[in-house]
Chains A and B, each alone.
Chain A
């Protein structure tokens, strides 16, 4: 029975009203046909292409155009974007707020990306902070956090979290020794701070819907940090329990909250890490293949059990 016949049947049963049947049947026939996604993707691609071209033009022609003209143009676009956003934005609220117009989010993206181009230009041409890129990243992170929370935009929040991670990485790269260990430790510290910050804000009800973005970024950075410890040549033993702990937590979170991306993280990162430890000193190719056959089958069986118990599509 195709869906239109089903709707008719449900209406005759009295399960849905005639108005509902008529409306849902129209939706099935594509009446009206929504172009919402297509138009938004066009706008997004348009902003990206414009910023890419602007960055390329500025890089190539800065000598001929002169710093004053380049900075004036960039600052004008930046000011126009943020004037638009601040003048059109609804009053700030703790809760999720929809964008006031169809182009609002894209003007915000444009402004955010132009900000990056302008800072990069300032440092490359005028050396304002004498190559201290980490300060730029920190300032960008702070500014993007402000924009993300003011305008309720998860994409800008992702940019803020990435800038913050970049700041941590660049700061460590200036240190003289033991960089790999420092990267790992500071990645863990980053995860702790960002995770706690995200959780705290969620508990206080400040843009609670941002928590998913925090959690995904923290989970990925944490898994990479722990995996880098597992792949060390020496002293990796301590990282195996850490990996198992993170996998267990991610799995439990994914199953209890029905966020199966965390189940996927724990399965893939966990398998890679545990396999790296178990077969790192084995040179027998047949044994390695046997290992993969049995462990992959075991993973499939385990995942099927999880899927049957928890993993039905919503």
Chain B
């Protein structure tokens, strides 16, 4: 399987993955999260587990089970950790623990390295088998830099029992008495979302959604959510439209867990009015290949968020050699190096100006697009993430060493 990435991922990363797998051959690597499908974590695990197994690692992926009550609670915890106040009853923490205890009885927790993803299964650390050589890591995928403090303090009790924590971005990390690593998330270049498509397939998708390919396309792919600022995107488009003829495509899936989603969508539709050059597409979930095609037909891609986690849609666009304009929030500035791999903007006017720059300078757009792809190749592909996980596991065998020679 790793060979499929040859010629796509950096040679060094592929080589190091192979070497580390030789060293760790037969080692048991257990991942536990709370969903088999949906979301970036599951997408990466679906690919990573068979790939590691193929290289001789005893890789296993378990999913904790819970009822609605449990997941409603963990959703509240999730929101609170991202700074939104939620009503959380004290006894719910006991229920959360109890569900984890039940899962611990069902799941074989014996492994050499265990990666527990996000808060839902965090209490599993209390059921760690008494085997000294194993390492337990808590992998946090969300931005907990400004949490509701009481909720974080409660979760922290579990977190500090781990050997180490892994965060996506330095500024998402907390000051903890355990080791903390930074591992950025990644995209899979071979997934439906990112794989190369033929021109014909791209044309077919354009036809399917009634998007004429007669003028430049500006695209934003995101949920209809106020933090993605779809109204701001329309305003930027309206400014651009005075100077350059173009189309705007806003494509997103309905957010089932977000009642505000449909309200925002209505607002966006109303705001767009009857402009035939604005296309608002509501795609069913998992229409990854269509999104892929939309990104490939676009001339400029926006991610004008005003709040963001890591914002991997930016890397997805960059991988397709597109000039990207993103809001200066969350992980976006880590992907867009201003003026090199795209532009970071702070306002609607800024976004409009950069769109016009790209539309008027196709050569610059092409150069930045190419640089963007290289940047993603070196930093945000799944192989780099696998390499990092294996490296952390291996390096834990040499505590205190800052340089490890293979």
Do A and B pair up? The answer is no
